[in-house]
Amino acid sequence: MERVELHCHSKYSEMDGLASPYDIVKLVQKEGMPAVAITDTGNILMFPELEWATSFDDCNVKPIFGMEAYVVDDYEKAVYNYNGQDISVFIAVDVETTGFSAKKNDIIEIGAVKVCNGEVVDRFSILVNPGKNISKFIEKITGISNEMVSDAPDIKVALREFCKFAGDNILVAYNANFDIRFLKVAANKAGVDYCPTYIDTLMLCRYVYPEFQIYKLDSVCEELGINIQHCHRAVDDATACGMIFSKITERLKIKNVAIEYVNDNIEHCSKTFEKSAIYHCTVLLKNSKGKKIIYNMISQEEKSKATKGRVIFSLRELCNNRGNLLLGSGCKAGLLYKAIINDKSEEEIEEIAKRFDFIEVQPHMNNKFLLEQEIYSYIQTEQDLIDINQRLISLGERLGIPVVATSDAHYLHKEDLLSRKILRAYRGFDEDDDTDLHFRTTKEMLEEFFYLPDEKARKIVITNTNKIANMCEVIDFLPEGKHYPYNENDSIEIRRLCESKLWKLYKDNVPEEIEERLNWELEAIHNTNTEFAFIYLHRLIENLNVRPFEINTRGCAGNTLVCFLLGISDINPIQYNLSPYFVFGFNKIKEADIDLNFSTNMRKKAIAIYRNCDGISSTVLASTEICVSEEMAYVAVEDYQKNNNVIFSEDKVKKIVIDLQNVYEDKRVNPSGIVLIPQGDEVQDYTPLAFTKDKRAITYFNYYYRLDNCLFKQDILSHFCFDMLEKLEEITGDMPDELTYCEPEIMELFFDFNGVMGCEELPDFMVQGLIEILKKAMPKNFDELVKVFALCYGTDVWSDNAELLLEQGKADLSEIISSRDDMYDFMINKGIDEATAYLITEQVRKGEWAYDHSNRYSEYIGILQDAAVPEWFIWSCCKIRYLFPRAQAISYVKSNWRLGWYKIHYSEQYTKIVEDFISIS
C-alpha cells in the first residue's frame, strides 16, 4: 500500500508553489498512490483543475479538495478565573524574559503597578538573576545585561516579593498568557500555589478598539495618548498596560458590558481579522456539504473586504463544521506547532490539539529555519526538531487523534528547488532558503522518519493517511450539464418577435431566402437552449430606448439575422453577405456569443436592468487570472543571476522559465462578463464569491476554467467611441439619424493627402499601424475600409502577407484575405461546398495552418488546388494566425464613420472632445 499526500501545494499557492494540479496527479498516479489532497495556501483556486485532472478514464487517483487556510484562534479569551472581584483596583504586570519558552527560558525582570480608580498608587520593579548567561540578542531587545542582574535575587525570591505586592488583586497584562505562563512556572519553582484572576488587555483592545490598525503596545499607547517611557522595560510596559485597561473599562461601560460577560461578547469581527495572529490550518472537504460551507465562508463579504481579498477563517467556525470538514494541525505556522515551540503548558497544548481531526508531522528538516532563530535558543540541533515531531506523535496517541505524515510539498522534484528560490526572490524574499520541499514518495517519507520504529513509521506515513483519505467522499466540483435561465415560452416568444419585425419590413412578401435563414438560425438557437439570451438583449435595448447606432456588436454577432430582427445589431447580414456558420457552427450546435458595446453611462444602466430579467436569481461578474508570463519568468531568472553573481546554462534557464510560467499571481475582473445564476440557485452552488477593491462581487474561480461549461455569461462592454458620440450630441444638439456610408466627404478622411489623413483622430483608427495600412491599401469605399480595418486587427494577416501581395500585384484589395468571411466567400465563389469552406476557414482563422496543428492540412490543400484556388491564396492562409470577424469590423467602422461626420460638420467641438478623451485615456 502507498501513502496519501494530504498537504501539497500547487501553482495556485500564492506565488509559492510550482506544480500544476495536473502534474501532481500524474506523479501520484505514477507512484500508485490512491488519492491526493492539494492544499494551497489561503485559497481553493485549484479546485477546477484538480477535478479536470482526475476526470480522465485512465486516472485512478481520488481527488481530495482542500486548502491550507489562514485562521484566527477565536477560542482565545480575555478574562480568566474571574470570581467577581472589583476591577477598579488591579495589578498591571509585565515580565521580561530570555525567550519564548516558560520552561526553558527565564524571567529576568518583573515590573508591576497597582492602579486604583485609574490612578497608579504603587509600583513594583525587580531584576532577576536567571543563573545563566543573557544573550546579546535578548540584551538588545530588553536593555537588560548580565552585569545588571549579577547581584539580583533569583526567581524564587523575586516571585515571592511580587506575590506580596499583588495580593489577591486581579492581574492585567498585555498578551497576558505569555506573562502568566512564566509567572506560574516561577511560582512552581518557588513552591507557591498560584492561580490568579487575570485579564488580557491585548484581546480587549481588539474588541473595544476595532478601528485601530496595529495592536502593538506602543501603537495602542500612541492611539490612546498614553506616554510610554522605555518600551520593553517591565515596569514601564506594566504602567502603559494599566493605563490602557483603565481606558478600556471606560469604553466597556459605554458598551454596557460587564467584565464577567466580556468573553461571551468578544468576537473577532471582520475589521480585526487581519490584525489578529494568523495561523495555518489544513482543511479537507469530507462531502458536498463541506464544499458549500467553505464556499459560503469564503464568500463572506465583510471578511474579504476587511482583509483586502485575503480570506481568513474563524477557527471556531471551522470546528463547528467538523461533521463536514476535516481539520489538520498544519505546518510550522499551525497553531499546534506554534504552541509547542512556544512551550505552552501541556493543558493548553492538549486543548488546542482537540480542535483537529488529525495531527500533522512533517520531515523535521522542513523546519530547520528554527535552528537559526535566536529567539528559539532552546531549539539548536536537528535532534531538537526530531523531539518536536515525537512530542506531536505522542500527543496524538495520548488523545486518540490520528497522526499523519505530510510533506508540505511546494514542487515535485528535488531539482525544482532552484526554481522556487528564484520565484521567492522575485516576490521580494531576501533569504536564500534551501529547505527541501519536494513531493515525497512513500519510500522517501518512510526514510524521513528513521527515528521511529518501523511499525509506527508505517502507521503515520501509510495507514493513517489512507484512513483520512477514506473519510473524504468523491465530490462533484460542478453540477452536470448547462444551468441556464429558462422560461417556458422562450421558443415561441423569439419567433414571434422576429416574425413581427419581418412583417414590418416586408409585409406579406418575405423573401424565401430570409424565411429559410430565420428558421435555420432559430433551430440553431433552440439546439443550445439560448433563446433567453437573445430575448434578454432585445428587452434590454427596448428598456434603454437606444437607437441602433448607439450600440455595436463584437465578434460575429452581426452575422445573425435574429440579432438584426431583434434590434440587437444594426447590421443586416443578408446585405453584407455574412454567414451564420461563424456564429452557430455548420451543424447548428455552437452556442452564439453575442457581445455588445455601449457608452459608459449606458452600460451602467444596461447592467442594472439585466440583473432583473426573468429566470435569473442573481448575477456576478466573471473573473480571470493573472499568472507569471514567459517574459516575467525570464526577468525573474535574470534578476536572480545578477543579484547572486551566478550564470546558468541555457538549458537550466529554459527549465526554470517553464517551471515559473503560469504560476498564479492574482485575480482580475473580466471587463465585460456578467455571469447569470438561474432562478432557484445561488452563486455558491457553483463558486464562492470574491471581491474587487471597489467591492464588486466576482466569481472566485476563473470563469473560463470549467464554469463556462455550466453557467452562461453575457458580455456588456463600454467603448469610448460611444462616449464621444454621446458627448458630441449633447454639446451640438445634433445627431444624424441615417447615414448612407457612401458620403464622399467622410470617405475623404481616409485618403492620404501629402502624408496627412483626417482619420488619425478617430478613436479606433489610432491603433498603431492602421494608418500605415490605409496609406498602402488606399481603400476607395466603405467596404474596402472595412477590409483595411480587419487587416489591422488580425494577426499576421497584413505584415509579410497581404502587404506583399498588394506590393507584388498578385492580388488587389478586393481579393485579399482580411476577415473570416472574405476567406469563406472566396472559396464559395470557387465552387467549394459550404461545409468544407467553413471548416477550412475555422482552421486558418485559429492559426492551425500557421502553427502546423491541422491534421487535415494535406487534404484541404488538395481540395483548394482542385478548385483552382490561386497559390497566393493558399500561401496567405498558411501565414495567418488569427482572422478578425467582418461583422465586428463593419460595426466599428460604422461608429467611426459617424464620428467622422461630426469632425466635418462640427470640427471645433470635435477637436475639443478628442482632446478631452485622449487626456482621460
State whether residue 656 is helix, strand or coil: helix
Report the C-alpha gap between 39 and 899 in whole angstroms. 54
> Which candidate, 18, 27, 70, 72, places its Cα nearest to that of 46?
18
Chain centroid, CA 636 distance in Å:
21
Report the C-alpha gap between 502 and 532 in whole angstroms. 20
For the chain, the 3-state helix, strand and coil shares in percent, each to the nearest 5, are 50, 15, 35
Q: Cα–Cα distances in Å, from 787 out to 743, 757, 825, 880, 889?
A: 18, 18, 13, 15, 8
Report the C-alpha gap between 435 and 422 in whole angstroms. 13
For 165, how many CA atoms within 13 A lie in the half-sphere containing its CB?
22
Q: Provide CB contacts within 8 A for 775, sequence distance 6+.
A: 752, 757
Place of cell 479538495: 65
> Which candidate, 810, 859, 795, places its Cα nearest to that of 832?
859
Place of cell 517553464: 658
Report the C-alpha gap between 341 and 385 in whole angstroms. 10
Instruction: Quickly list H helices, 573-629.
Output: 581-584, 600-610
State whether residue 818 is helix, strand or coil: coil
**CB–CB of 795/879 below 8 Å?**
no
Q: Concatenated DSSP letters for 130-164? A: -SSPPPHHHHHHH---HHHHTTS--HHHHHHHHHH
Which three cell numbers, joined as nine digits, stand for 427?
516576490
Sequence letter at residue 797? V
State the helix-helix crossing angle for 346-353 and 382-399, rounded to 10 degrees.
60
For 684, how many CA atoms within 13 A lie in the half-sphere containing its CB?
14
Report the C-alpha gap between 663 and 40 in whole angstroms. 12
Sequence letter at residue 444? E
Report the C-alpha gap between 321 and 293 in whole angstroms. 8
Q: Which of 7, 230, 232, 413 is catalytic?
A: 232
Report the C-alpha gap between 579 and 573 in whole angstroms. 7
9 is catalytic: no
Q: Cα–Cα distances in Å, from 165 out to 18, 238, 365, 627, 754?
A: 58, 14, 46, 61, 97
712 phi and psi angles, rounded to 5 deg: -90, 140
State whether residue 756 is helix, strand or coil: strand
Report the C-alpha gap between 698 and 690 in whole angstroms. 5
First-to-last C-alpha distance (Å) of the chain:
62
Report the C-alpha gap between 683 and 699 in whole angstroms. 8
Which residues in 153-276 belong to E strands, given as ranges? 170-173, 198-200
Starting at the edge strand found earlier in the chain, the sheet holding 595-598 runs 552-554, 595-598, 712-718, 664-678, 616-627, 697-702, 689-691
Q: Provide CB contacts within 8 A for 899, sequence distance 6+.
A: 721, 724, 725, 728, 762, 763, 910
Q: Cα–Cα distances in Å, from 839 out to 188, 835, 865?
A: 85, 6, 16
Sequence letter at residue 236? D
- Which residues participate in catalysis according to the annotation? 232
